[in-house]
Amino acid sequence: MNERLRRAMFRAGLDVEGLAQAVEVSTKSVERWLHSDMVPYPRTRYRVAAALGEDESYLWPASVDKASLTGAELVTTWPRRADVPRELWTDLLRGAERNVDYIAFAGLFLAEEIPDWIPMLRAKAEAGARVRMMFGDPDGRQLASRDAENEIGGGVGGRVAAVLSYYRPFTDLFDIRLHDTPLYASIYRFDDEMIVNIHVYGILAAYTPTMRIRRVDGAYFQTFLESYEKIWASARPLEANGNGG
């Protein structure tokens, strides 16, 4: 089963017959694309991708070489996280249907600077999306280390306390854990899209390089997702009440 094609058809509201009509092929051709490794001819791939609002390399990654896939994953970059357009965060969240994964030491800017963030996140969770969030453990060693590195006199711990006050009321909807890792990058995942904020020693995360990645079976997306899962496995659950966890 070409699961990417099937999901793209579902999101576009097209069944086998509807896609066949849209791209002027037989229903048998669409069935073969769904249930085998068959890849359409380039012209047909273009029409299918246009009809579904997806990239050809996403629907049929085998149709392009690995070097092209790697380049296709990297959508854009910014020299600072503060340069990421504010509306992009809500656009990506709005488009997510299955997974919203988030890890930072605090990431307080989302809750404080984007009024629609928490209401949208809550709506996504209520609609069935899995929402997982990880923040720095107030009782761990790494939070104090990051605070000393940035020379902000307890500011990191204060930001974690503040961000937890925003999300703690939603522990019945969001799966929240506390991590004690050096955290080389903050990761914000929205289904098959991801914003990665690279951490640089001695510089606050708002002022360090950030990139937007789209999963097309290259190396970028999977590397950061694997890192997220490893940290998730070692993090401890946040308790609904109490100091930190």
Q: Which helix (H) or strand (E) holds 37?
A: none
Q: How many residues does the chain have?
A: 245
- Residues 38-87: pLDDT tens digits? 888 888 988 999 999 888 878 887 776 655 666 678 899 999 999 999 99
Tell me how far CA of residue 100 lies from CA of 83, 129, 134, 173, 220, in angstroms: 22, 7, 11, 12, 18
Residue 245 confidence (pLDDT) above 60: no
* Range 143-151, long-range pairs (CB < 8 A, 24+ positions): 143/105, 143/180, 145/182, 146/105, 146/183, 149/201, 149/202, 150/202, 150/203, 150/204, 151/202
- What mean pLDDT do residues 148-174 have? 84
Rounded mean pLDDT of the chain? 89
As a whole-number percent, the residues of the chain with pLDDT over 70 amount to 91
Residue 213 confidence (pLDDT) above 80: yes
